[in-house]
């Protein structure tokens, strides 16, 4: 196989949406540090929604972006909690995968800690092939040609081989 056509993980983003700032968000950040060994970044609301009691610019969630070995380790952990099963609808047209876990205590090795509580989280995995840098570079920025883009089929095969995922 051509080495330029090999699919690889660019990054994995683990997100916990809390919906409010303060102590609850601090506990979610503590949980992300325990799972990923990396400091999370807070995300802020973009709009004001009085029904949910959210103002624009208020911190409402936290996320961690993982790359390389840390990303693979975190993906394996969360997939074990899901029983290594994904649905075809969790793959998008660009070949990325997104899935969630309702309670972090479903992850093997995680115990319930009364100081933290129970949180659900979303994991988004971004895939790319070598040469995707032309899309991000500052000088002579170009689009990725259609024939070089990652397809959902390639992503499914990668997930089956690398993580033994069953697509139901």
* pLDDT of 83 above 90: no
Q: Which residue has the tokens 């971004």?
A: 126
**Spatial CA neighbour of 26 closest among 62, 64, 74, 66:** 62
* pLDDT of 113 above 80: no
Rounded Cα–Cα distance for residues 18 and 121 (Å): 10
Q: What architecture is the 3-167 domain classified under in CATH?
A: 2-Layer Sandwich (3.30)
The pTM is what?
A: 0.87
pLDDT at site 20: 79
* pLDDT of 75 above 80: yes
pLDDT at site 65: 95
E strands within the chain?
A: 8-17, 41-44, 59-66, 85-86, 97-101, 121-128, 166-167
* pLDDT of 52 above 80: no
The domain locations on the chain are 3-167
pLDDT at site 128: 93
pLDDT at site 35: 86
């Amino acid at each position: 196989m051509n080495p330029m056509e090999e699919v690889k993980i660019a990054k994995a983003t683990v997100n916990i949406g809390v919906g409010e700032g303060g102590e609850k968000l601090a506990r979610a950040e503590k949980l992300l540090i325990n799972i990923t060994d990396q400091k999370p970044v807070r995300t802020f609301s973009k709009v004001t929604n009085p029904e949910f009691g959210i103002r624009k610019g208020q911190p409402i969630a936290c996320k961690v972006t993982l790359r390389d070995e840390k990303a693979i380790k975190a993906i394996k952990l969360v997939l074990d909690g899901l029983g290594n099963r994904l649905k075809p609808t969790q793959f998008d047209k660009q070949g990325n995968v997104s899935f969630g876990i309702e309670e972090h205590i479903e992850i093997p090795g995680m115990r319930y800690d009364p100081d933290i509580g129970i949180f659900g989280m979303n994991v988004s995995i971004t895939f790319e092939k070598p040469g995707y840098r032309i899309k991000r570079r500052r000088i002579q920025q170009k689009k990725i040609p259609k024939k070089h883009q990652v397809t959902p089929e390639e992503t499914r095969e990668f997930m089956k081989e690398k993580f033994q995922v069953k697509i139901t």
